[in-house]
Amino acid sequence: MPCASRRDGSDLKRMEAKIKSVRSLNLGGAAERAAIRELEAEREALAARVARQQSPGLREARQLLAQLPQIAATFERRLAATLTGGKATRDEMRLISGATRDLIKGGAIRIRPKNRTMTGRE
């Protein structure tokens, strides 16, 4: 069903363009509000249909990306406990947080950290 989702994606873009064009007409008052309200209702229905058509893998990936801050925080706590025996100073926590941010960029995890002091290699 990839063709349908591509078509629906372009339909969403067309719907956005329609809403933008209605706003640019400067109809004013109730007429403009009614037209925009109707188009936004259509857009929401279309967006709901697109969301239902997404593959389970894509849905799971988006959920994991949404959880990335909590995953990173858990990773930092566990790393601090492992490296310092549970007694990390503020400076050590800043270093660990910085290394975690360097590893995770835009939802992608880089294998080699930018800050090599954490790996012990220069």
Whole-angstrom CA distances from 49 to 4, 7, 26, 98 are 10, 12, 30, 40
pLDDT attached to residue 16: 87
Q: Where are the domains of the chain?
A: 2-54, 66-118
- In angstroms, rounded to a whole number, what is the distance separating the alpha carbons of residues 27 and 22? 8
CA 79 to chain centre: 25
pLDDT in tens, the chain (122 residues): 344 445 566 888 888 888 888 888 887 788 888 888 898 899 888 888 877 777 777 778 778 878 888 888 888 888 888 888 888 888 988 888 888 877 777 666 666 655 555 555 44
pLDDT attached to residue 122: 44
Q: What is the pTM of this model?
A: 0.41
Q: At what angle do helices 29-53 and 2-24 cross, to 10 degrees?
A: 170
Q: Which residues of 111-120 are buried (b: 16+ CB within 10 A; e: fewer)?
A: eeeeeeebee
pLDDT attached to residue 48: 82
